[in-house]
Amino acid sequence: NLILSIRGVSALGGRAESSVRLFEYVDGGKNIKSIGTLKGVTAPVRHFYRKDNVIWVGFNSSKVPLVKKYVKEGDGWTLKGEANVGVDVFCVAPPV
């Protein structure tokens, strides 16, 4: 699978999309197909990290700088927790 953070810039100056989208490879890896979007993304995504069945997502927000934890359940991802880390997130790298 492929995970992308989307931090768009609106051509008209309004608020643009900020999300984490999930894709899978198709046609032997020649193309990708969208398989979903993580729910609960409320600010620009700064960084994310996936290990096994968990994705941690860090946000850049002047109001509430967060790291959110998503867990794979069945065919989807469920928000399981979040932490206000007190500063803008630059990188997410859980201990090994």
**Residues 24-60 pLDDT 10s:** 999 999 999 999 899 988 778 888 899 999 999 988 7
pLDDT bracket for residue 75 (50, 70, 90): confident
Average pLDDT, the chain: 84
User: Tell me, what's the pLDDT at 11?
Assistant: 64
Residue 43 has phi, psi (to 5 degrees) of: -155, 170
Secondary structure of residue 29 in the 3-state scheme = helix
Q: Which residues contact 67 (CB under 8 A, 6 or more apart)?
A: 56, 57, 58, 59, 82, 83, 85, 89, 92
> How many CB atoms lie under 10 A from the CB of residue 45?
20
pLDDT bracket for residue 70 (50, 70, 90): very high
Angular region, 75: left φ>0, alpha ψ -120 to 50, beta rest? alpha
